[in-house]
Amino acid sequence: MIGRPSYPIESWSLTEHGLDIDDLARSESLFSLSNGHVGMRGNLDEGDPHGLPGTYLNSVHELRPLPYAEAGYGYPESGQTVINVTNGKIVRLLVDDEPFDVRYGDLLAHTRTIDFREGVLRREADWVSPAGQRVRIRTQRLISFSQRSAAAIHYEIEPVGDTARVVIQSELVANEQLPGRRGDPRAAAVLESPLISERHRARETMVELVHRTRHSDIRVAAAMDHIFDGPRSLGVTSESEPNTGWVTATAVLKPGETLRMVKFLAYGWSEQRSLPALRDQATAALVAARQTGWDGLVAEQREYLADFWRRSDVEVDGDAEVQQAVRFALFHVLQAGARAERRAIPAKGLTGPGYDGHAFWDTESYVLPVLTYTAPAAAADALRWRHSILPLARERAQLLNLDGAAYPWRTIHGEECSGYWPAGTAAYHVNADIADAVLRYLWATEDEQFELEVGLEILIETARLWRSLGHHDLSGRFRIDGVTGPDEYSALADNNVYTNLMAQRNLVGAADAVRRHPEHARAFGVDAETAASWRDAAEDMFIPFDKRLGVHPQSEGFTEHQVWDFEQTRPEQYPLLLHFTYFDLYRKQVVKQADLVLAMQRRGDAFTAEQKARNFAYYEALTVRDSSLSACCQAVMAAECGHMSLAHDYLREAAFMDLKDIEHNTGDGLHMASLAGSWIALVEGFGGLRDTGELLSFSPRLPEGLSRLAFGLRVRSRQLRVEVVDSSATYTVLEGEAITILHHGEKVRVSPDQPCKLDVPPVPAQERPRQPAGREPLRFLHQGNGTEVTRAADVHPVDG
């Protein structure tokens, strides 16, 4: 069973048959569990072997210096890195004094599975020890959605053939040894022994450990308790040390007898609370979990997920792999944000330490659009976190001699942690992305209380930033110079179209909010005159256009740069950032990820249909997709421009980013933005969803490979269902009042429980645009135990 595992296509689950110990890190990410507050990688229960151990508490981090060869004004001095906190997953097993280790003896069968409707990781192993004793091990693991601080493990061991003496050692371990850092800048810094012991205690079946971080001074409490069920020979002991606690159970099992253990875990952390208070918090959560019991926790988990899927499921007919992938994606996006509760949603969620556990603009631009329409409370909490770090964003703006708030490019706690100025500080679009997420949430929920408590202040402070960052030139145009847009292969550019258009939306949205709430705005020092200046800047916003080529340059002058020599770039030289200097990239026409294309997706109202078609074709030839953020955006605009098979290819690339480990870094954690991107590609791409705050708009069309698409949205206090089948679309209001929508540009009134079925216009066939040599969208050919990945060059010369 040691070798390449298989992952069968299943509509509601992910199952691994077999085990590849050389690829454990990837499977650990895929089988991660989280609720947004606590996260656990899918490590084997016995701890060894492992790819990358990981247990995380949202926002628990350590500080580390950011060294510079030469210091500069405004450079961040300290970085933040997520840490592996106290690990409660470990359950070691000895069979007749031989440790259960899949590398030794014979592993006759090994299966792991997650059912997305249940939220429980299940594992079964059939193992023969080197001495010939055969046992079956069955384990289940969950992190509770209903009890935020709790996790639990159900463990069973049964001998086969002969009587066996078994020992189960359940552990709580701090400061685990971690693998060394790789050369990939996307990997995390490794911090050795970041936790200092403050308390340890063992009694009966319970262990408590309390630690604090060395530099960030965060206190972490972890506790475990157990229930055992076994033969009369069962004996249980416990003990603890500063960094470890054990509860050990021993029993002699006859064939047919089973030793069962339920392990309850609880965590708490704080920057301010005392040791006794935090210890009591973890203990109370542990008591609540134990009182609920294993069966009760599983029942609560199923109920929580049933409610989520009732609102949010996406059904895909015609592509079984995409059906599995989009549910896998929605499950993990929910896990990332469900109980984050005013904490960040990192780029990797709580599935691994990639990018040091930092949150980027990925959250607002990719993850929150999904959560806004499927789990709006989670989206609101993520934005409340952004509101909570406004004081630090204001300090950062002041340091940069700007007004308002300058949100960090990457952070955990709220301070800027990017030591690389061009792709960090200069990427001011993060401020507009946050404002855009606020506006989208307000449009979708009509939550006036949220607007008054959170949204208004964010919109005001980000609008102030744009007014001070930009300026009117001699021609009266409002310019925003020297910034970095979404494409990180271009930096310090003037008038990046995406940045300017999103800033324009930010300015208008803030002015509208001030008009709605003038008294509250005055409390923030904003009057009608200030709001009018924002409208002036928005109206005068400079959006470059290359009349010679008939396209929008990504930034002013971009289309005049030399085109990158794609023909001479070898496949192994991608991603380019690992093989070429940024100076070389910055001065060439080469695009890491969708930038102008993303601008057309988010601000489609600013472009004509002809401009979209020409822009899309132009940038297809330049975009190398060295970022997981790109494929879903290209899928959306490919669909809008009528390139349906190309859109399908990009959908699959986004959906399989982690399931197929396309960028070879899934072992560091899952790509939350690309996971969310599979929903975006389906709902915004083939469903044609657009929301600009007035009417909800749909322009559904399906590619040849899909026969049906259905999805649910929570929007404007209604539950809306959209179903697209071949050449028709049906809209149904399942909850709430009637709603007026746009269907392919025509107004339609949809009444409750009265499905509205409309024709979908055909897509005219057209020539498929070209991509850079060797960077065509991937194609995935399922072949038995695995999936072969190939490029799609010249496969579909015509889309339609």
- Give me the mean pLDDT over the 563-592 stretch: 95
Please answer whether residues 82 and 407 qualify as being in contact, where contact means their C-beta atoms are separated by less than 8 angstroms: no
Could you tell me which of 453, 574, 586 has the C-alpha nearest to residue 513?
453
Q: Return phi, psi of residue 372, to 5°.
A: -60, -40
pLDDT band at 694 (very low <50, low <70, confident <90, very high): confident
Chain center to CA of 178: 23
Domain ranges of the chain: 13-310, 313-686+764-790, 690-763
Could you tell me which of 586, 567, 566 has the C-alpha nearest to residue 577?
586
Please answer whether residues 210 and 164 qualify as being in contact, where contact means their C-beta atoms are separated by less than 8 angstroms: no
Class of domain 13-310: mainly beta
CA dihedral 322, 328, 333, 336 (to 10 degrees): -160
- Give me the mean pLDDT over the 314-337 stretch: 98
pLDDT band at 182 (very low <50, low <70, confident <90, very high): low
Q: Do domains 13-310 and 690-763 have the same CATH topology?
A: no
Topology of the domain covering 313-686+764-790: Glycosyltransferase (1.50.10)
Residue 790 pLDDT: 61
Of residues 408 and 766, more confidence is placed in 408
**CA–CA distance, 639 with 786 (Å, rounded to integer):** 29
The answer to whether 481 is a known ligand-binding residue is: no
- Give me the mean pLDDT over the 492-502 stretch: 98
Residues forming the active site:
488
Q: What percent of the chain has pLDDT above 70?
A: 96
Question: Peptide bond before 544: cis, by omega within 30 degrees of 0?
Answer: no
Residue 783 pLDDT: 44
For residue range 699-719, list pLDDT tens digits in order. 999 999 999 999 999 999 999
**CA–CA distance, 567 with 235 (Å, rounded to integer):** 69
The answer to whether 115 is a known ligand-binding residue is: no
Q: What percent of the chain has pLDDT above 90?
A: 90
- CA dist 219 → 35, 193, 195 (Å): 20, 14, 9
Topology of the domain covering 690-763: Maltose phosphorylase, domain 3 (2.60.420)
For residue range 84-143, list pLDDT tens digits in order. 999 999 999 999 999 999 999 999 999 999 999 999 999 999 999 999 999 999 999 999
pLDDT band at 784 (very low <50, low <70, confident <90, very high): very low
**CA–CA distance, 73 with 71 (Å, rounded to integer):** 7
| Element at 189 (helix H, strand E) | none
The answer to whether 592 is a known ligand-binding residue is: yes
**CA–CA distance, 280 with 167 (Å, rounded to integer):** 30
- Give me the mean pLDDT over the 572-580 stretch: 95
- Give me the mean pLDDT over the 211-232 stretch: 97
585 class by beta-carbon count within 10 Å (0-12 exposed, 13-18 middle, 19+ buried): buried
pLDDT band at 441 (very low <50, low <70, confident <90, very high): very high
**CA–CA distance, 762 with 748 (Å, rounded to integer):** 19
For residue range 471-491, list pLDDT tens digits in order. 999 999 999 999 999 999 999
The answer to whether 747 is a known ligand-binding residue is: no
Strand order in the sheet with 690-691: 690-691, 696-698, 739-743, 746-750
Could you tell me which of 500, 498, 455, 450 has the C-alpha nearest to residue 480?
500
For residue range 266-318, list pLDDT tens digits in order. 999 999 999 999 999 999 999 999 999 999 999 999 999 999 999 999 999 99
| Element at 98 (helix H, strand E) | strand 98-99
DSSP letter for 472, please.
Answer: E
| Length of the chain (residues) | 800
| pTM higher than 0.85 | yes
Residue 423 pLDDT: 80
Residues 469-505 as b or e (16 or more Cβ within 10 Å = b):
bbeeeeeeebbbbebbbbbbbbbebbbbbbbbbbbbb
